Copies of this chain bind each other. A is one copy, B any other.
Amino acid sequence: MNITVQKFGGTSVGTPERIKAVADRVSELKKTTPHIVVVVSAMGDTTDELIALSHRISETPNPREYDALISTGENISAALLAMALQNLGVLAISLTGPQAGVATSGHYGRSKIVDVDTKRILHELSLGNVVVVTGFQGINDALDVTTIGRGGSDTSAVVLAAALGAGVCEIFTDVDGVYTTDPRKVKSASKLSEISYEEMLELASLGAKVLHPRAVECAKENGIVIHVRSSFDRVEGTLVKEAAAMEVNRPVTGVTMNEDEAQISILNIPDSPGVAGQIFSELADAAVNVDMIIQTVQENGFNKISFTVSVDDLQQAKTVTSNVGARLKASGVQFDDAIAKISIVGVGMMSKPGVAAKFFKTLGDNGINIRMISTSEIKVSCVIDKADGPRALELLHAVFELDRL
């Protein structure tokens, strides 16, 4: 059975009118494609509204009940989409995660999908139904509903595609694909026709919200091609797939800017073993995620440690760092949230030397000071002054010829 899996996100099913538009689209596809599984998120802000409701009851709602509560959002959108399809004369049925055989394990709120018993889905498909499956949820061994973490409907769709032997999973969203950089920031941003799993993972972890990183990892593990495309028009989007010959042609696939980090520096720390370990385990204990870290030896022989955190965590990080700084007898702690992190991503840079150098030189030639650097095999990131951010983004986008893709 050749099965097509499509996923529509919260914006795509945000109103009854949009649900009808999705039904139109699926109904059109049904004319040429006999077996369609559609995965849906909750309508627009439904999940947030349910979360707000739970917090009016309890600041720390019980995780099992929380999952039972917030999973109802997807039940609503799935039933409505099935109704809308039937209204167009298309046979359709909605299935909840439990009904669709999506087995989960692990903690409520962040379960993993461990198996899909496809029996019911295949039966409904064989009856000619479009099968609408609720994303984001499954059933655990205790026969209770669990959710798999926010953004999890992408993962649900990819897992179902894998379980059903679908080669492609189409993810419909409010943008028409993956771009070389944020089109709202750089006008010449161009849409990528394809991107490798690895690059997509880097872009996603750098803050590109187009796909959930877990969904990309899951697609990579199962060899599922993800087609990211717009639910509002019919143009082809971006294929996320195994890196092929394409990396030869382009060393850099995308440039990103993150303006939501802050830099913290601890000055004049004695150079003794275990100091860095102490600082960062105390931050971890306080649930502060640290991104880039640099340790430098100052002229006086003492060390300086700088790192970046999300601005959301800055207050918490300030408290922890000031305490640990005082205990280590550091001379002071500095905070700066006027920074931007610029990153280039591309599997091609592994085989093309000089990409990082070109990045640094471009910034230097234009008088942009680099404060911190971090690299991975397929990524280079620099922290610069926030004021220089937009200009750096434009310059790098042009230098790496991303407007010509």
**CA A66 to CA B20, docked complex, whole Å:** 16
Cβ-based interface call for A193 (8 A): no
Cross-interface CB contact of A83 among B54, B78, B87, cutoff 8 Å: B54
Evaluate contact between B62 and A69: CB separation under 8 angstroms: no
Cross-interface CB contact of A62 among B64, B82, B99, cutoff 8 Å: B82
Query: Interface 1/0s, chain A 133-149, versus B by CB < 8 A?
Result: 00000000001100000
Contacts of A79 in B (CB 8 A): 54, 65-66, 68-69
Q: Which residue of B lies closest to A70 (CB)?
A: B79
Q: Which residue of B lies closest to A96 (CB)?
A: B68
Evaluate contact between A72 and B80: CB separation under 8 angstroms: no
Chain A: interface residue count, which band? Answer: 35 or more
Evaluate contact between B61 and A83: CB separation under 8 angstroms: yes
* A residues whose Cβ falls under 8 Å from a Cβ of B: 16-17, 19-20, 50, 53-54, 56-58, 61-62, 64-66, 68-69, 72, 75-76, 78-80, 82-84, 86-87, 93-94, 96, 99, 120, 143-144
**CA A65 to CA B19, docked complex, whole Å:** 14
Q: Which residue of B lies closest to A144 (CB)?
A: B99
**CA A62 to CA B75, docked complex, whole Å:** 15
**CA A295 to CA B279, docked complex, whole Å:** 94
Chain B nearest CB: distance from A77 CB in Å? 10
Chain B nearest CB: distance from A267 CB in Å? 45
**CA A66 to CA B96, docked complex, whole Å:** 14
Evaluate contact between A68 and B94: CB separation under 8 angstroms: yes
Evaluate contact between A80 and B64: CB separation under 8 angstroms: no
**CA A83 to CA B64, docked complex, whole Å:** 9
**CA A84 to CA B56, docked complex, whole Å:** 10
Evaluate contact between B99 and A56: CB separation under 8 angstroms: no
Contacts A76-B50, A99-B144 given; indicate if A84 touches B69 (C-beta within 8 A).
no
Most B CB within 10 A of own CB, among A16, A17, A20, A57? A57
**A-B pairs with beta carbons under 8 Å apart, 18 shown:** A50-B76, A53-B76, A53-B80, A54-B79, A57-B83, A57-B84, A58-B87, A64-B93, A65-B79, A65-B86, A65-B93, A68-B78, A69-B76, A69-B79, A69-B80, A72-B72, A72-B76, A120-B143
Contacts A65-B86, A68-B79 given; indicate if A57 touches B16 (C-beta within 8 A).
yes
**CA A16 to CA B57, docked complex, whole Å:** 6
Chain B nearest CB: distance from A377 CB in Å? 45
**CA A120 to CA B76, docked complex, whole Å:** 26
Evaluate contact between A58 and B83: CB separation under 8 angstroms: yes
Evaluate contact between A83 and B99: CB separation under 8 angstroms: no
Most B CB within 10 A of own CB, among A62, A65, A96? A65
Chain B nearest CB: distance from A40 CB in Å? 13
**CA A56 to CA B94, docked complex, whole Å:** 18
Evaluate contact between A80 and B57: CB separation under 8 angstroms: yes
Cross-interface CB contact of A66 among B58, B64, B68, B83, cutoff 8 Å: B83
Cross-interface CB contact of A68 among B58, B64, B75, cutoff 8 Å: B75
Q: Which residue of B lies closest to A87 (CB)?
A: B58
Contacts of A82 in B (CB 8 A): 62, 65, 68
**CA A87 to CA B62, docked complex, whole Å:** 8
Contacts of A78 in B (CB 8 A): 68
Contacts of A84 in B (CB 8 A): 57-58
Q: Which residue of B lies closest to A71 (CB)?
A: B75
**CA A58 to CA B17, docked complex, whole Å:** 11
